[in-house]
Amino acid sequence: MKFEEYRGIAPEIKRNLDGMGIVRPTDIQFKALTPILKGEDVLAIAQTGTGKTAAFVIPVLHLLSEQKKSRKMDGIKCVVMVPTRELALQITAVFDKIGKGLKIKTLSLYGGVEQDPQIARLETGVDILVTTPGRMFDLVSQGHLHLDRVQILVLDEADRMLDLGFIKDIQDAIKFLPRNRQTLFFSATINENIKKLAYSLVKNAIRIQISPKDPVAKNVTHSVAFVEMDDKRFFLIRLVEENPDSKILIFVRTKVRAERVFKVLERSEIQSLTIHGDKDQRERIDVLQKFRANAVRILIATDVSARGIDIPDIDFVVNYDLPDEAENYVHRVGRTGRGEKKGRAISFCSTEERPMLQEIETFITKPIKVLEISRGEYQETIDLNEDRPDKWKAVMQEIAEAEEWKKKKKRK
């Protein structure tokens, strides 16, 4: 069934979807649209990259547009709670694109920036609020944000919000919402904690679960290379040089590791960008814009900062470091192979990371294909890069100096 054949969707929404090249709903959209339009609560479990955002954006926009026709709307009518500022901005952009021409105002609200401009925007009138729990609760507590007219609550990437410790902020903020509301709960994974949160919020919800036996998207191929920690940089450079036209998202465990990998690539004259918690909001937005526009094709990210990287044409996800938790593997690899596109996920696994690899394989319920590397090929990869020892000495010296400077700054 095509979107143009749906009777219960505003014509403006249909035109905008067509202009975006979106003709047919994905599985999660097909199953969620009708119950949401009927005003029912929904509990949806679906992998990253399956079209979850549009699954609630489309019906929410339609419901609010119908209200606009019948009476004047004052106050916020829909709240979308998300784990990160990048995701808040991403979802706001989707609301704006799909809702073009509907005169529905959407605002992103998040921490890490001055609150006064956000308060000023709220005072001009907002219909849909896309927000992180912490900043939302702050402004409610200060009396700047009023939620008494909210009709729809959406929790997106609820599993990640729990991982980040937002449970108390969520529970505190929800106390200010009307009890008689529609609740839409979206998550890529499900466990007992998520179930507990979900069923405390929804009432007689329609449960939707897409590919429950396989938590990762089918159009992503997975492989792992057994590479020792100190040798990973050589294999990363080889991967990048063998795929010069590919867009590559590289995951590392920490902010320090992100900057180290950036320096390693820079010394090999490979351009890249980093995104992590030490960068302010303007820097993060600028980085994502450059990566999205292919101004730079390699982005190095930490797990938290990567939420909201909804870019459809990422060719490779590289797990330079395996994640600390198996569930995060699903979120990482979900950044590629989005929609109908194919993607590849390649992990570098050191000896000390093998237990985590086993946990990941158990979680995704299947083994990851091993990339066989002969001893000769392994040594050749290292030798090719060690032909330039001056560069490696320089990068290691630069890293050491940067870390020493940070330590001195903290002591002061």
> Residues 36, 41, 43, 49: is their CA dihedral positive or negative?
positive
> Which two three-digit tokens encode residue 187?
């998550």
Counting as low any pLDDT under 50, the low residues of the chain are 212, 389-390, 392
DSSP 207-226: EEESSTT--S-TTEEEEEEE
Phi, psi values for residue 385, rounded to 5° = -90, -30
- What is the pLDDT, as a whole number, of residue 214? 54
- What is the pLDDT, as a whole number, of residue 192? 82
Beta bridge partners of 209: 45
Phi, psi values for residue 68, rounded to 5° = -60, -35
In sequence order, the 6+-apart residues with CB closer than 8 A to the CB of 116 are none
- What is the pLDDT, as a whole number, of residue 73? 61
Domain boundaries, the chain: 3-209, 220-409
* Rounded alpha-carbon distances, angstroms, from residue 215 to 108, 354, 359: 29, 21, 14
Q: Which fold has domain 3-209?
A: Rossmann fold (3.40.50)
Q: Beta strands of 231-272 (E only): which ranges?
A: 248-251
Give the tens place of pLDDT for each residue, 6-61. Answer: 888 999 999 999 998 888 898 899 999 999 999 999 999 887 667 889 999 999 99
Q: Which fold has domain 220-409?
A: Rossmann fold (3.40.50)
- What is the pLDDT, as a whole number, of residue 212? 47
- What is the pLDDT, as a whole number, of residue 385? 72
d(CA 247, CA 298): 6
> Residues 85, 89, 95, 96: is their CA dihedral positive or negative?
positive
d(CA 90, CA 309): 8
Give the tens place of pLDDT for each residue, 93-146. Answer: 999 999 999 989 999 998 878 899 999 999 999 999 999 888 898 899 899 999
3-209 matches 220-409 in fold: yes
- What is the pLDDT, as a whole number, of residue 68? 76
> Which two three-digit tokens encode residue 86?
């990048």
